[in-house]
């Protein structure tokens, strides 16, 4: 009996040569590291060196997170990935009334340069690559990172890493937006321009499908809506006067990796091919690096279960393998206990060890694109590509990603997919081990890591001390200059950096921009 993929595409019991009848390897595959990049963005891929092994971490105070980062580095992590708490993600200080109960809970609390200084204390910023999962206030956290690097004596042209900086997916699936779409896109264009001049090795945006997948998007929806967002960002930068080849090589993407290995591999290969064609044909990019879809992958947190949590170790290993077989440039493997609470030191170490086993104990790094020419993979790659292109065309018919967001199109499509998954799971048509089949009569006890609730008061005390000791006149003057730039057309990152250097807080800077740009309020269509 034929099955369907996660995207609802048919999976046949047997594939043979007829599946690829009329299929042209030169057109569909090419060579690794060359257009259309189906086989990977680099000629040697992992045969030269493995992917960057990142671990997403951050909780409580900057001091606690700094200790975790040092442990991860000692365990062999090749890149840091910073999780920020919800108030930081929303541009609020820890002592703001709206932040109550959320300080340090889902990531580290960063209120000012003093917190950032502690977060990266003793970590040489010219030696590590740092990814920051931050969107609406991404410019602030990047500038704080640059300021701390300068204090370490590290010049900005030595810094490598990524800011997520993908606000469009916040309107679609995640909700940590601050400003309306138009000024948000203007801010992103300012970041592109700033980094081209000041931090040239930095990846200025990580266009994310991960959070759409966590909200219920199918693999086809994930890449279609993500690439549509990417097109919107490129159009914004070009409209702001930038040459596509000046910024496109620093674009990166962020996808999920599910347990369904075959479709995930096909998804990654299809996404590379679509993006290369769009950049070449629509935007006329000439630099081969502008055509490359480089991406980070995180294993699927939404597929982890609180029931029998050790089974998640198996899920994560399978998901990590799918990402590697699909050609990811960096990878974060989730900890097995994340469906319960923040990862413990041991579970975070086991998550990293999963990647190390894949890299050093298997043979998947011995050859590039191991599934190339597989009847099923090539057929699925073509089918995922065709379905994604069709969905992207619907976004274009609505006037592009922003207009489609205002119509509630992407959100509605994802919600329908999520509802289908929930129905199938409830009916046990979709097997989830330990949840709707193979359950235990009684779960074993598990002691999770917990965040100290006193952190909120501690952060408030630190903020009060900072405001009492700093030069308030300098802060006010810098914030005034920031608002002038926001009202006009000057790049806002330069006055923003001055304000942060003067010890303005994240909340104060975001509030200054709120006064000019306003807050985003979802339409009734949502």
pTM: 0.94
What are the pLDDT digits (tens) for 374-411?
999 999 999 999 999 999 999 999 999 999 999 999 99
Of the chain, the percentage scoring pLDDT greater than 90 comes to 91
What CATH code would you report for 3-407?
Answer: 3.20.20.240
Spatial distance between the Cα atoms of 403 and 397, rounded to a whole number of angstroms: 10
Residues 6+ apart with CB under 8 A from 26: none
Backbone angles phi, psi at 127, to 5 degrees: -110, -20
- Domain-by-domain residue ranges, the chain? 3-407
* Predicted confidence (pLDDT) at residue 512 exceeds the cutoff of 70: yes
Q: Is the per-residue pLDDT at 371 higher than 70?
A: yes
Q: How far apart are CA 390 and CA 384, in angstroms?
A: 10
Tell me how crowded residue 124 is: count the other CB atoms within 10 A of its CB: 13
pLDDT average, residue stretch 351-362: 97
Cα torsion through 93, 95, 97, 102, rounded to 10 = 70
Task: Give the pLDDT of residue 143.
Answer: 98
Average pLDDT, the chain: 95
- As a three-state string, the secondary structure of 32-52 is CCCCCCCCCCCCCHHHCCCCE
Nearest to 211 by CA among 271, 150, 301: 301
For residues 18-28, give the mean pLDDT: 93
Question: pLDDT by residue (tens digit) across 203-220?
Answer: 999 999 999 999 999 999
| pLDDT tier for residue 526 given thresholds of 50, 70 and 90 | very low
Q: How does pLDDT run across 29-42, given as a tens digit for each residue?
A: 999 999 999 999 99
> What distance lies between CA 50 and its chain's CA centroid?
20
Measured CA to CA, the distance from residue 78 to residue 80 in angstroms comes to 7
Q: What is the DSSP string of 391-421?
A: HHHHHHHTTSHHHHHHTTHHHHHHHHHHHHH
The predicted structure's pLDDT at residue 289: 97
Range with the poorest average pLDDT among 100-104, 372-376, 402-406, 451-455: 451-455
Q: Is the pLDDT of residue 345 over 90?
A: no
265-278 mean pLDDT: 98
pLDDT band at 525 (very low <50, low <70, confident <90, very high): very low
488, pLDDT greater than 90: yes
């Amino acid at each position: 009996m034929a099955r369907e993929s996660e995207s609802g595409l048919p999976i046949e019991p047997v594939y043979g040569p007829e599946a690829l009848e009329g299929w042209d390897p030169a057109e569909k595959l090419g060579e690794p590291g060359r257009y259309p990049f189906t086989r990977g963005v680099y000629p040697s891929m992992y045969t030269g060196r493995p992917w960057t092994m990142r671990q997403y971490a951050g909780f409580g105070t900057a001091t606690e997170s700094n200790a975790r980062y040092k442990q991860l580095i000692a365990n062999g992590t090749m890149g840091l990935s910073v999780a920020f708490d919800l108030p930081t993600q929303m541009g609020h200080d820890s002592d703001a009334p709206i932040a109550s109960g959320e300080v340090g809970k889902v990531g580290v609390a960063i209120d000012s340069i003093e917190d950032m200084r502690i977060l990266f204390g003793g970590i040489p910023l010219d030696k590590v690559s740092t990814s920051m999962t931050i969107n609406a206030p991404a410019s602030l956290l990047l500038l704080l990172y640059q300021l701390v690097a300068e204090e370490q004596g590290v010049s900005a042209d030595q810094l490598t890493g990524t800011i997520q900086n993908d606000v469009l997916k916040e309107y679609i699936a995640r909700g940590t937006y601050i400003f309306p779409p138009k000024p948000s896109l203007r801010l992103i264009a300012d970041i592109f321009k700033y980094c081209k001049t000041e931090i040239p090795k930095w990846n200025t945006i990580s266009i994310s499908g991960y959070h759409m997948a966590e909200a219920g998007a199918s693999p086809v929806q994930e890449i279609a809506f993500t690439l549509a967002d990417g097109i919107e960002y490129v159009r914004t930068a070009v409209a702001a006067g930038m040459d596509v080849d000046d910024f496109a090589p620093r674009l990166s993407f962020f996808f999920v990796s599910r347990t369904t290995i075959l479709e995930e591999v096909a998804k990654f290969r299809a996404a590379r091919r679509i993006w290369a064609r769009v950049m070449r044909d629509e935007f006329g990019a000439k630099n081969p690096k502008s055509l490359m879809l480089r991406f980070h992958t995180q294993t699927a947190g939404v597929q982890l279960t609180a029931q029998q949590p050790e089974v998640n170790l198996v899920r994560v290993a399978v998901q990590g393998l799918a990402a590697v077989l699909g050609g990811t440039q960096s990878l974060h493997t989730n900890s097995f206990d994340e469906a319960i609470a923040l990862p413990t030191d041991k579970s975070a170490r086991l998550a990293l060890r999963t990647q190390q086993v894949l890299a050093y104990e298997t043979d998947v790094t011995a050859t590039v694109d191991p599934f190339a020419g597989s009847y099923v993979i090539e057929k699925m790659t073509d089918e995922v590509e065709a379905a994604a292109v069709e969905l992207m065309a619907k976004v274009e018919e609505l006037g592009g990603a922003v207009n489609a967001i205002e119509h509630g199109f992407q959100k509605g499509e994802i919600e329908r997919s999520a509802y289908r998954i929930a129905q199938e799971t409830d009916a046990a048509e979709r097997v989830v081990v330990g949840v709707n089949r193979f359950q235990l009569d009684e779960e074993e006890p598990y002691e999770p890591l917990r965040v100290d609730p006193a952190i909120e008061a501690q952060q408030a005390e630190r903020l009060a001390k900072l405001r009492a000791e700093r030069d308030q006149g300098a802060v006010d003057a810098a914030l005034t200059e920031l608002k002038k730039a926001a009202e006009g057309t000057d790049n806002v990152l330069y006055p923003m950096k001055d304000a942060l250097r003067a010890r303005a807080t994240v909340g104060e800077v975001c509030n200054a921009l709120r006064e000019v740009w306003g807050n985003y309020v979802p339409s009734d269509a949502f």
